[in-house]
């Protein structure tokens, strides 16, 4: 009786030790570190793009050929409204939003990353675009040369 209690106790200790080892090995693979210091663009060439005077096709080409720290995009199959959008950020805080609305491209400058995140998670992307982006941020369009 006494030996079975000891064996049972040892099994519990080994089981707990095994779980802790697995958590220590696998846990860091999924951890994300939040930094409390400023992180400048590293290995990027996007922090000094001069797009304001360029035709939109050239400005888009320069953005696409530059190196950014963060890039993300989405595409929606539709014939009107927001059709696709791409976000490019040097510092992970602000960036360029290239968005196609009604088959016309727009480049919005200095769009905060949380605004991009809200756009792509919005249930009404067209409504969000109209209320939260259009007319608020500096824009380059086909009509601006």
Q: How far is CA 132 from CA 30, 96, 101, 137, 139, in A?
A: 33, 15, 15, 9, 13
In which band, very low, low, confident or very high, does the pLDDT at 15 lie, cut at 50, 70 and 90?
Answer: low
Is the whole model's pTM more than 0.95, yes or no? Answer: no
Q: Show the 3-state SS of the chain.
A: CHHHHHHHHHHHHHHHHHHHHHHHHHHHHHCCCCCCCCCCCCCCCCCCCCCCCCCHHHHHHHHHHCCCCEEEEEECCCCCCEEEEEEEECCCCEEEEEEEECCEEEEEEEEEHHHHHHHHHCCCHHHHHHHHHCCCCCEECCCCC
pLDDT in tens, 58-85: 999 989 888 888 999 999 888 789 999 9
- Give the residue extent of every domain in the chain: 56-140
């Amino acid at each position: 009786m006494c030996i079975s209690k000891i064996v049972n106790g040892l099994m519990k200790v080994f089981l707990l030790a095994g779980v802790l080892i697995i958590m220590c090995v696998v846990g860091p693979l999924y951890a994300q570190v939040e930094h409390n210091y400023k992180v400048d663009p590293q290995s990027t060439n996007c922090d000094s793009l001069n797009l304001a005077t360029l035709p939109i096709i050239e400005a888009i080409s320069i953005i696409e050929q530059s190196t950014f720290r963060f890039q993300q995009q989405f595409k929606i199959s539709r014939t009107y409204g927001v059709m696709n959008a791409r976000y490019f950020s040097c510092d992970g805080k602000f960036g360029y939003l290239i968005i196609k609305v009604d088959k016309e491209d727009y480049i919005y400058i200095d769009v905060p990353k949380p605004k991009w995140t809200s756009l792509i998670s919005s249930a009404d992307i067209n409504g969000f675009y109209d209320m939260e982006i259009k007319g608020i941020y500096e824009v380059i369009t086909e009509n601006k040369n």
